[in-house]
Each structure stands twice: as structure tokens, then as C-alpha cells.
Amino acid sequence: MKPLIVDAHQDLAYNMLAYSRDYSLPLDAIRAKDKESNTVAENGTTLLSWYEYQKANVAIIFGTLFAAPASDPLTSVDGFHYQNSEEAHTLYLNQINRYEQLFEEHPDQFSRLRSKSELEKVLAAKEAGLSEVPTSLLILMEGGDGIRNMEDLSFWWEKGVRIIGPAWKATKFCGGTGQPGPLTDLGHDLLREMAKYGYILDISHMDWLAAEQSLDEYTGTIIASHANALSKVIGGTRNRFLADEIIKKLIERNGVIGVIPFNNFLMQGWEGMDPRPNISVDLVVDHIDAICQMAGNANHVGFGTDFDGGFGVENTPDEIDSISDLHIFTSKLASRGYSDPDIEKIFGGNWISILKRSLM
């Protein structure tokens, strides 16, 4: 039986709203529909579908709330930029509502994940070998600008958000990708308040200084849902990647890092027009192995694919056509000496351990 997969990062609601992608359909049907619009040109060829989740044995996905600040030139979809926290709050709420609609329209395919009891139900169904088990979605807020004030933490908790990444680009809370900076006074306040509720902190997009401060300060669970190791990115210089010092601190805090099979995060500067065979899944394994070597075990790494998150098949290693192809890593890891229990941890077990100790 294929190892159970937990994918710690997918922008599903954004894709459903911005591109009208219907993930309840088979992959070929989604791709055919995308060809009738500008979706492929803007966001690449999709790698995701509920049917592919079933083929891959995906049990849990961290589904994001994502929108971009108006100043960001990289995301071009009209209606998904915000000028301020009020607008970000509205965009995130629209995405929460889209997830709710998905659960109502396709309860046989998708379910909510908010609590330990819901987690146990998912795992029991998988362990029983039931066919066509609904894929569970746990909500992750990517970028804290949708938090207007500290009182909003209660609002988002009630809406089912369980993970918060305070930054995408820089926010009022801290520096972010391409925009360095430490935690602000509001950032320190945010961490204190998040811990009271039991939120998981995601440092993926936080600037290195802010991430190190958070690792020292935050009293709750800390993860990097989707971030590769700076030392293994060919030509890597960006603060979007995790420096070794941060990885080591995250390991000390018993966190988990989700590795991303995205070519530009394996070779900085790789462009979509470059030949895909130049990038192999072996480069992804290098990141997994580097984290395991730093830890001395396989307990702190998993997958956070970010598939459909601004890139598609065209920007993944040559051997990957959909999420079901993640299982190529089974043989790749085994060839480097990883045992079956280690591989099971990497595919999903480590994320499940995080959820078991963090959900209430």
C-alpha cells in the first residue's frame, strides 16, 4: 500500500475562485477546462484533483487562505489584491466561504479538519482501508494581513483556521519574502495572542531575522509548511529559503519542514522556458536528505508541494505530472538508505505527529 500523504500547502480556495478550478473533477477534465481560458498561461497546468488525491493516498491537505498585496507585481488576477487589512480580511473570508461551499457540495470528497477528533476519524478511515475517503482540509492563513486586530484571532479560530503564517511579503507583523525585517511590536503581540488559542505558527515566508526571533519566542508549535533548504538550492541567495541555522532551530523546537518540488526553489533563477529534464526529483531528495542529516533522523521533514500555487507542471521536476507522482520518492529515498518507517514519516507521518500534539 502506498504511504499516506499529508501535503502541507495548497492554494485550493484561491484557485477555485480566481480560476474556477473544480477540484472535484478528474484531472483531464480540469485541464481541458483550463485550456478554454488564460488559466494555464497565468498559473500553469494543474497538478491537482480529488481523483489524483485518491490515487496518491492523500489524506490531509493544509488548504490556504491567500491574497497578494496591491504592491506585488507577480500575481495578476484582478480582484485578489488588497490595499489594507480590511480588504485582506474580506478576501480571506471569501476563501473560507468557498471551502465551506466545497464541503457542502462534495461531502464524499472533501471534509473539514479542525480538531483532534476529526483527525482521528480521518486516520481511522485510512487505517481501515476504506476506498474513496474524503480528503481532509485544514485551513492555513498565508500572510497575516487578514488579521485586522488581535480580536480577529478569535474570529478566524471559529472559522476553522488552525495555522497562521504572519508574512508572505512584509506585513505589519514582520519582514517577509524579498522584504527583510524583524518582528514588529505588533508581531510580538501577535505571537503572544496566537499561543493563547493554540495556533500553529508557519515561518515559511518570514524573513530570517523574524523567523529566528519567532523560534526563540513563540511558545506554541512551529512549522515551515513549504520551504526548501538554502544550502541545497543551486545558486540560492533569497530569504525565501531556510538557512541552516533556522532549520536547526526548527528541529530543536520539534518542528517539521515541507519541501517544495518547484524548479525555481531547486535552482534559483530557473525559468519556465528552460528544459524540464534539467531538473530531477533527485534535487528534491537532496533537500529532504539535508534536513534529515541535520536532525540525525527522519522526524522533521515532509511535503508542502505548493502545487498550483502560481506554477504548474511546467515548473516541476521532469518526472512529476500530478500529485500522484509523489510516490516516485519512495524508491528514491529507499535508494539512499531510508527505511519504510522513515519514508512513511516523510510522506505524512511527521505532519500527523504535529497535528496530534497541536489540535484540540
Q: Which helix (H) or strand (E) holds 138?
A: strand 135-142
Question: Which band of pLDDT confidence, cut at 50, 70 and 90, is reported for residue 149?
Answer: very high
Q: What is the pLDDT of residues 53-76, one digit of tens each?
A: 999 999 999 999 999 998 886 665
For the residues 35-46, what does the mean pLDDT come to? 93
Query: Given this model, what pLDDT does residue 76 score?
Result: 59
Q: What is the pLDDT of residues 72-99, one digit of tens each?
A: 866 657 788 999 999 999 999 999 999 9
Helix (H, G, I), strand (E, B) or coil at 114: coil
Q: What is the pLDDT of residues 291-326, one digit of tens each?
A: 999 999 999 999 999 999 999 999 999 999 999 999
Query: Given this model, what pLDDT does residue 77 score?
Result: 77
Beta strands in 152-281 (DSSP E): 161-165, 200-202, 222-223, 257-259
Query: Given this model, what pLDDT does residue 272 score?
Result: 75
Query: Given this model, what pLDDT does residue 73 score?
Result: 66
pLDDT above 70 as % of the chain = 99
Domain that holds residue 223: 5-358
Give the pairing of strands 110-112 and 135-142.
parallel
Q: What is the pLDDT of residues 223-280, one digit of tens each?
A: 999 999 999 999 999 999 999 999 999 999 999 999 999 999 999 999 877 788 889 9
For the residues 329-339, what does the mean pLDDT come to? 98
Query: Given this model, what pLDDT does residue 74 score?
Result: 64
Query: End-to-end distance of the chain based on CA atoms, in angstroms?
Result: 30
Query: How far is 270 from 167, CA to CA, in rounded Å?
Result: 24
Query: How far is 239 from 218, CA to CA, in rounded Å?
Result: 20
The total domain count for the chain is: 1
Q: Residue 347 gets which letter from DSSP?
A: I
Query: How far is 310 from 40, CA to CA, in rounded Å?
Result: 10
CATH of the domain at 344: 3.20.20.140
Q: What angle do CA 209, 356, 333 make, to 5 degrees?
A: 75
